[in-house]
């Protein structure tokens, strides 16, 4: 996509300008980011999703004497009829995985790497409802879907920012308001990570949160080193051949630290393994149990394709691809495959096409590695037949 075209979604900024000045840095309010936006799902449908076993949902209820009670879904049918008139919020995660029209919204965000996107959470709040002043460790685009919500933003926070004593919710003890806006349907507020914010519903309202994922430094180090360790034989150890005689046997000398650093650097800078791990980690599905494949003989798969079958990406799958010295890597829902550079266009198609079928795959179905790849992605669950 052209990074220099002004985007309505970004209030007329180009992707390049937004990425340079706002992304991860400062908030941006966009009036009518999606003009005349109509929520593709109703509050009742959202509540319906919160009854489902596989859907992650929460209810935050404000009470006079017990502020901000958190309840976790799935909920019972009668939960919603028993709620008060005001001051509660229902939050449903990853609605994009369950409602295709919500997933389509993500097409507006193609100026960002798709593997950075986590999910589209949708909240419905009764008048006065909100989840309290807080900060998140990730970027979020808050799109007003229905009704109006007042957003207040405040200070930048970190893990030292004081929180209210609350077992389940991270609510800031201090909120230093800097700005305030009332958002109408189609308006959108971008917030960088760690910026305090506080939304309250002016009336019954729905807010879409497009949330991102970024591993913490601690996660990168622990997960990458666990991954690396699988490839390191037990006999490979700290070694000190050629050690200089020491004047005091109890002292750990500088030379030992240098040997240790050399051991770490040698392994930590293996780019193939680093990329393999990163691609796998960033495409780890949010709900791995929803990416269950099906066994199927290769012949049956090819026959189905010849007979007009249509393949779709599993909405719970995550895909990305990359180049390395040896060829290309495809990352699919936490797994990686090394492939030859010939398959570049196929990888792009798998990651981006609305659907895969004879018309856009024909040349690939006769290519051995290509058809094996497609077949394996079905068996793994990242691709599925349209009518399943």
Binding site for ligand SIN (CB under 6 A): 89, 123, 125, 131, 136, 140, 197, 199, 207, 209
- Work out the number of other CB atoms within 10 angstroms of the CB of residue 338: 12
Pick what 209 binds: ligand SIN, Co ion, none; C-beta below 5 to 8 Å, kind-dependent: ligand SIN
Q: Say if CB 14 and CB 26 are below 8 A apart.
A: no
Q: Say if CB 180 and CB 123 are below 8 A apart.
A: no
**Closest separation in Å from C-beta 268 to ligand SIN:** 34
Give, as ranges, the residues between 130 and 189 that touch Co ion (CB under 5 A): 136
Q: Say if CB 209 and CB 188 are below 8 A apart.
A: no
**Closest separation in Å from C-beta 135 to Co ion:** 7
**Closest separation in Å from C-beta 105 to ligand SIN:** 15
**Closest separation in Å from C-beta 143 to ligand SIN:** 10
The H-assigned helical ranges of 133-245 are: 217-229
Rg of the chain taking only CA atoms, in angstroms = 25
Pick what 89 binds: ligand SIN, Co ion, none; C-beta below 5 to 8 Å, kind-dependent: ligand SIN
Two tokens, residue 70? 């958190």
Q: How many alpha carbons lie under 13 Å from residue 203 in its C-beta half-sphere?
A: 8
SS (H, E, C) 267-301: HHCCHHHHHHHHHHHHCCCCCHHHCCCCCCCHHHH
Between 131 and 370, whose beta carbon lies closer to ligand SIN? 131
**Closest separation in Å from C-beta 142 to ligand SIN:** 6
Nearest to 357 by CA among 386, 314, 333, 316: 386
Pick what 207 binds: ligand SIN, Co ion, none; C-beta below 5 to 8 Å, kind-dependent: ligand SIN
**Residue 221: partners with Cβ closer than 8 Å, 6 or more residues away:** none
**Closest separation in Å from C-beta 325 to ligand SIN:** 41
**Closest separation in Å from C-beta 67 to Co ion:** 17
Between 56 and 136, whose beta carbon lies closer to Co ion? 136
Pick what 199 binds: ligand SIN, Co ion, none; C-beta below 5 to 8 Å, kind-dependent: ligand SIN
Between 44 and 234, whose beta carbon lies closer to ligand SIN? 44
Buried b (16+ CB within 10 A) or exposed e, 107-136: ebbebbeebebbbbbbbbbbbbbbbbbbbb
Between 171 and 330, whose beta carbon lies closer to Co ion? 171
Pick what 146 binds: Co ion, ligand SIN, none; C-beta below 5 to 8 Å, kind-dependent: none
**Closest separation in Å from C-beta 205 to ligand SIN:** 9
Between 136 and 187, whose beta carbon lies closer to ligand SIN? 136
Q: Are strands 205-212 and 195-201 parallel, antiparallel or unpaired?
A: unpaired
Query: How far is Cα 234 from Cα 99, in angstroms, rounded to an integer?
Result: 48
Q: In what order do the strands lie in the sheet with 149-156?
A: 179-183, 149-156, 195-201
Q: In what order do the strands lie in the sheet with 69-72?
A: 28-30, 188-191, 140-146, 205-212, 117-125, 88-92, 57-61, 69-72
Q: Are strands 149-156 and 179-183 parallel, antiparallel or unpaired?
A: antiparallel
Q: Please state the length of the chain.
A: 388
Pick what 131 binds: ligand SIN, Co ion, none; C-beta below 5 to 8 Å, kind-dependent: ligand SIN
Pick what 94 binds: ligand SIN, Co ion, none; C-beta below 5 to 8 Å, kind-dependent: none
Between 199 and 381, whose beta carbon lies closer to ligand SIN? 199
Pick what 380 binds: Co ion, ligand SIN, none; C-beta below 5 to 8 Å, kind-dependent: none
Between 171 and 317, whose beta carbon lies closer to Co ion? 171
Between 136 and 384, whose beta carbon lies closer to Co ion? 136
Between 9 and 183, whose beta carbon lies closer to ligand SIN? 183
Pick what 92 binds: Co ion, ligand SIN, none; C-beta below 5 to 8 Å, kind-dependent: none
Q: Indicate whether 119 belongs to the interface with Co ion (CB under 5 A).
A: no
Where along the sequence are the contacts to Co ion (CB under 5 A)? 136
């Amino acid at each position: 996509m052209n990074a220099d075209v002004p985007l309505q979604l970004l209030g007329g900024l180009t992707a390049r300008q937004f990425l340079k000045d706002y992304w991860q840095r400062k908030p941006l309010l966009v009036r009518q980011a999606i003009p005349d936006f109509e929520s593709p799902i109703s509050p009742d449908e959202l509540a319906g999703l919160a009854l489902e076993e596989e859907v992650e949902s929460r209810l935050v209820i404000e009470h006079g004497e017990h502020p901000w009670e958190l309840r976790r879904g799935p909920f019972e049918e009668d939960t919603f009829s028993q709620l008060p008139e005001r001051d509660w919020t229902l939050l449903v995660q990853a609605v994009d995985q369950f409602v295709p029209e919500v997933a389509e919204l993500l097409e507006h965000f193609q100026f960002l790497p798709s593997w950075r996107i986590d999910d589209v959470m949708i909240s419905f709040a009764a008048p006065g409802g909100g989840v309290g002043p807080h900060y998140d460790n990730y970027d979020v685009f808050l799109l007003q879907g229905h009704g109006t919500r007042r957003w207040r933003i405040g200070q930048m926070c970190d893990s030292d920012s004081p929180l209210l004593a609350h077992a389940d919710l991270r609510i800031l003890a201090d909120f230093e308001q800097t700005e305030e806006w009332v958002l109408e349907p189609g308006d959108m507020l971008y917030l960088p990570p760690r910026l305090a914010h506080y939304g309250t519903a002016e009336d019954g309202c729905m807010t879409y949160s497009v949330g991102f994922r970024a591993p913490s430094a601690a996660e990168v180090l622990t997960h990458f080193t666990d991954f690396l360790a699988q490839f390191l034989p037990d006999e490979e150890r700290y070694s000190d051949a050629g050690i200089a005689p020491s004047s005091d046997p109890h002292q750990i000398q500088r030379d030992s630290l240098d040997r240790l650093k050399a051991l770490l650097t040698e392994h930590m800078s293996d780019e193939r393994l680093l990329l393999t791990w990163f691609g796998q980690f960033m495409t780890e599905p949010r709900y791995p149990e929803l990416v269950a494949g099906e066994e199927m003989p290769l012949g049956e798969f090819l026959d189905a394709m010849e007979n007009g079958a249509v393949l779709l990406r599993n909405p719970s799958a995550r895909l990305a691809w990359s180049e390395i010295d040896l060829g290309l890597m495809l990352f699919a829902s936490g797994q990686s495959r090394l492939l030859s550079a010939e398959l570049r266009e196929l990888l792009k198609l798998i990651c981006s096409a609305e659907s895969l079928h004879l018309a856009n795959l024909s040349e690939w179905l006769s290519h051995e590695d290509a058809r094996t790849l497609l077949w394996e992605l079905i068996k793994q669950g990242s691709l599925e037949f349209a009518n399943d």
